[in-house]
């Protein structure tokens, strides 16, 4: 499992080679989310793929969260439901 340090936190990669499609220097899912909102994403806002498929950038599959903290909470709740 790949590990790296970012801002003092250890992040472990899933080894999936996950990459996001970029367009005009931005990740495609962020551009789609901005179009859906009708405004640029604010600093700290995170785009979540509802179905877990990071390649599915359909506007109905994207949820905008106010922070990474809320994104982590969402994944924690989802993990508990699965268990």
φ, ψ of residue 31 in degrees (nearest 5): -65, -45
Other Cβ atoms within 10 Å of 33 Cβ, number = 22
Domain ranges of the chain: 3-82
Cβ atoms of 1 and 13 closer than 8 Å: yes
Counting beta carbons within 10 angstroms of the beta carbon of residue 62, is it exposed (0 to 12), middle (13 to 18) or buried (19 or more)?
buried
Work out the pLDDT band at 80, boundaries 50, 70, 90.
low
Whole-structure pTM value: 0.69
| Residue 27 pLDDT level (bands cut at 50, 70, 90) | very high
Tell me the per-residue pLDDT of 48-61, one tens digit each, with 9 for 90 and over.
999 999 999 999 99
Predicted local distance difference test score (pLDDT) of residue 9 = 39
Residue 81 has pLDDT above 70, yes or no: no
């Amino acid at each position: 499992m790949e590990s790296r340090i970012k801002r003092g936190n250890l992040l472990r990669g899933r080894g999936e080679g996950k990459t996001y499609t970029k367009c005009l220097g931005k990740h495609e899912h962020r551009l789609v989310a901005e179009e859906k909102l009708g405004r640029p994403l604010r600093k700290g806002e995170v785009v979540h793929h509802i179905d877990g498929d990071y390649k599915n950038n359909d506007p109905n599959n994207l949820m905008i969260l106010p922070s990474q903290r809320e994104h982590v909470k969402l994944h924690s709740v989802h993990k508990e439901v699965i268990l």
